[in-house]
A and B are shown apart, each in its own frame.
Chain A
Amino acid sequence: MIAEISVQVYTYIFVGLTFSLYLVIAWISRVRDTKGFYVAGQDVPALANGMATAADWMSAASFISMAGIISFNGYVGGQYLMGWTGGYVLLALLLAPYLRKFGHFTVPDFVGDRFDSNIARLVAVVCAIFISFTYVAGQMRGVAIVFSGFLKVDITVGVVIGMGIVFVYATLGGMKGITWTQVAQYWVLITAFLVPVIAISIKLTGESIPQIGMGSQLLGEDVHLLDRLSQINEDLGFANYTAAFGWDHQLLNMFCVTLALMAGTAGLPHVIVRFYTVKNVRAARWSAFWALLFISLLYLAAPATAAFSRYYMIDSIQGKTREELPKWFNHWEQTGLILWFDDGDGRLRYSNREDNEVFQSGSGSNVTLTEDYKFDGKLVKQNETVSIKVIQIDHQKWIDKVGGRDWRPVLTQQKLSGPDKDIMVLATPEMAELSNWIIAFVAAGALAAALSTASGLLLVISSSVAHDVYARMINPQASEAKRLLVGRTVIGLAVVVAGYFGIYPPGYVSQVVAFAFGLAASSFFPVIVLGIFSKRVGTIPAIAGMVAGIGFTGSYIIGAVYLGMEPWCFGIEPTGIGTIGMLVNFTVTLALTPLCPPPSQKIQDMVESIREPEGAGQAVVIEEATEH
């Protein structure tokens, strides 16, 4: 109990320290003009921009959920690793240098100017706002998990505190404040991620480099970790950990998901906008390199965290009695991320079959009944929901043979079997029995990951509304001060909306995020690539392509997720449909192009000037750039 309290105290200390650090940085780098507000005055060094981009990109999902997803899916989890890093290659080679040369503020700005159309601009603004909001909601859920899991604070209070902090430094410092805060957040989150995985690697394999440890033999045994893991998975009825797919539809699915995530990453507005903040084209290229290098530190370690924690988790709970279960199990059982519904033999059994006894409470902590049932004489009707706590009490009665029923089939049917994937990262330090301060530091790291991404996204929302809609479309004569005021007001509103989504998360968070990637892949990516690499593509084909891409992807995802539609397109899951949407966009645009007039000479000159690495006055600056 004493240890429990001190983790909490440490967490308060670390969260307090890091939050004050962020506020101090924001105060030092506060800004007064719109250029500093949206693109940090375009004087951020490539190295710092790389770190900030890495922190911006690595969200609560990367930090908390990704290793967990890999842990439960093994080989297939690689689609996220490859998709989210491979997208940077597309970004660096196809987009970043040219968008920097273009030199305005936002992605809709590029789309609107290149295709000389306010309709195109508006479509791009709507996409940017939608993508950003779906993403922010995910970050707020991450903040909520950390606050309730580590600090035992009410979720609402946690979200309000988190949003308050983001609000202060985003409105005060704009992009400049956010950039330098993100540099600090990068170091917090990468340290918090690497220390536990190194510790658990040493514990299991004796290797201090996790990536080597993952391929090594288990300490004191004559078997490789990955072989043992595959063996355990097969014994318990799960898919082999390392086995890949033959030429079937699972392979097609993985291919589509990977490609959709890659193109989606390259098309995400909050990532693209980072490349507007550097000095010049050359620095934009180096920024992309530094960003991926910094990201790869976490992404190369995540598969190791996944494999180690899966082996360790199963090894430490399988067949144990209540008294033998490790401390971390009891701790996280209170949060509902892992629950034990025994079959009466008093020993825990985790498997992928009917005899599984490990469950989770799910995001709402409620269970929908499949038939009418009486709890202590109180009737609950079919399709009504009951708290998981009530179910646990009733199940315990069944174990004690004093009434109640076996609830495991109901929970399995509602997809609540197995622990919540988020536990794999959050509980790893406790599994490895690390010091309390490291456990607390992981909480600060997870918060850094969530807040850095949230702040970047909020700025995109604000710039989309205040710059693209207000300054470019509604009131082009607006003064600098007025634009800044609108920008700050919009951030304030966006914070409130995002906070609402954090407290009342929309159902199917993972599918909503799939929506964001699918839309980015099928809308922004093709239109920006064609805008740069073709001088011939004009306004009408570009708008038609975007609308067709979004329309196809959007209706497929909504149909498959919410309306129970069969995934009719070669059985491709909603997560991967962005790939097809992207092909639809490219096809429609390129098919219409010969039928429509080419863009004006002015636009063609603009494309030429984007390709030209030296602009008016730029040559001198390239020589002066000292950071490389």
Chain B
Amino acid sequence: MPEPSDPEKSATSGAAKPEVRAALARYWRSNVKIMISLLVVWAVAGLGCGVLFADALNQYSIGGYPLGFWFAQQGSIIVFVFVILIYCCLLNRLDRKHHEELEQLRREGKA
């Protein structure tokens, strides 16, 4: 049974070894990088193409829809679903890498 983690007993408490802290810092930097790139896609598709540039995009058309209108009522939602899918895949891979790194440290007796 998974227990809710107790912050004070967690792997990276204040007493954690510097190698472990460094591994978490690296993990966190990659995480933030992935997050920001995906949020840019989110903003461009939704607030950009669906609102700010919708008027300009409306002169083109896709499948019988004016393009700006399509982004506001269809395209942005499709992009959102894919943004979360990509985030899940990338982050779960990053988690695995991080897990292996910690295992490595544990084997070397540094954690």
Chain A positions within 8 Å of B, measured between CB atoms, are 42-43, 70, 75, 77-79, 81-82, 85-86, 88-90, 92-94, 97, 101-104, 211-212, 214-217, 224-226, 242-246, 251, 254-255, 258-259, 262, 279-282, 285-286, 288-289, 292-293, 296, 299-300, 303, 533, 601-602, 604-606, 608-619, 621-622, 628
A-B contacts at CB below 8 angstroms, number: 205
Is A289 within 8 A of B12, CB to CB?
no
Residues of chain B from 3 to 54 with CB closer than 8 A to chain A in the complex: 3-14, 24, 27-28, 31-32, 35, 38-39, 42, 46-47, 50-52, 54
Closest approach, in angstroms, between the C-beta of B90 and any C-beta of chain A? 10
Interchain CA distance A224-B5 in the complex, whole Å: 57
Residue in contact with B7 in the complex, picked from A214, A217, A605, A617, CB distance below 8 Å: A605
Interchain CA distance A327-B102 in the complex, whole Å: 69
Residue in contact with A614 in the complex, picked from B8, B11, B51, CB distance below 8 Å: B11
Is A296 within 8 A of B10, CB to CB?
no
Interchain CA distance A97-B5 in the complex, whole Å: 13
Closest to A628 in B: B92
What's the tally of chain B residues with a CB closer than 8 Å to chain A?
59
Closest approach, in angstroms, between the C-beta of B68 and any C-beta of chain A? 5
Is A226 within 8 A of B65, CB to CB?
yes
Closest approach, in angstroms, between the C-beta of B94 and any C-beta of chain A? 8
Residues of chain B from 59 to 111 with CB closer than 8 A to chain A in the complex: 62-66, 68-70, 72-74, 76-78, 80-81, 83-85, 87-88, 91-92, 95, 98-99, 102
If A289-B85, A611-B28, A614-B99 touch, does A279 touch B2 (CB 8 Å cutoff)?
yes
Chain B positions within 8 Å of A, measured between CB atoms, are 1-14, 24, 27-28, 31-32, 35, 38-39, 42, 46-47, 50-52, 54-55, 57-58, 62-66, 68-70, 72-74, 76-78, 80-81, 83-85, 87-88, 91-92, 95, 98-99, 102
Is B24 within 8 A of A608, CB to CB?
yes
Is A609 within 8 A of B5, CB to CB?
yes
Closest approach, in angstroms, between the C-beta of A232 and any C-beta of chain B? 16
Given contacts A262-B46, A608-B24, A616-B9, 6 further A-B contacts (CB under 8 A): A82-B72, A214-B64, A216-B64, A244-B51, A605-B8, A609-B10
- Which of A89, A226, A292 lies at the interface centre, i.e. has the most chain B CB atoms within 10 A of its CB? A89
Is B7 within 8 A of A258, CB to CB?
no
- Which of B8, B12, B55, B69 lies at the interface centre, i.e. has the most chain A CB atoms within 10 A of its CB? B69
Prevailing SS type, chain B contact patch? helix
Is A244 within 8 A of B2, CB to CB?
no
**What residues on B are CB-neighbors of A82 within 8 Å?**
46-47, 50-51, 72, 76-77
Is A618 within 8 A of B42, CB to CB?
no
Is B63 within 8 A of A258, CB to CB?
no
Prevailing SS type, chain A contact patch? helix
Is B54 within 8 A of A88, CB to CB?
no
Is A300 within 8 A of B78, CB to CB?
yes
If A81-B77, A211-B74, A282-B92 touch, does A612 touch B11 (CB 8 Å cutoff)?
yes
If A215-B65, A610-B7 touch, does A75 touch B54 (CB 8 Å cutoff)?
yes
**What residues on A are CB-neighbors of B85 within 8 Å?**
289
Interchain CA distance A393-B76 in the complex, whole Å: 48
**What residues on B are CB-neighbors of A288 within 8 Å?**
84, 88
**What residues on A are CB-neighbors of B65 within 8 Å?**
214-215, 226, 242
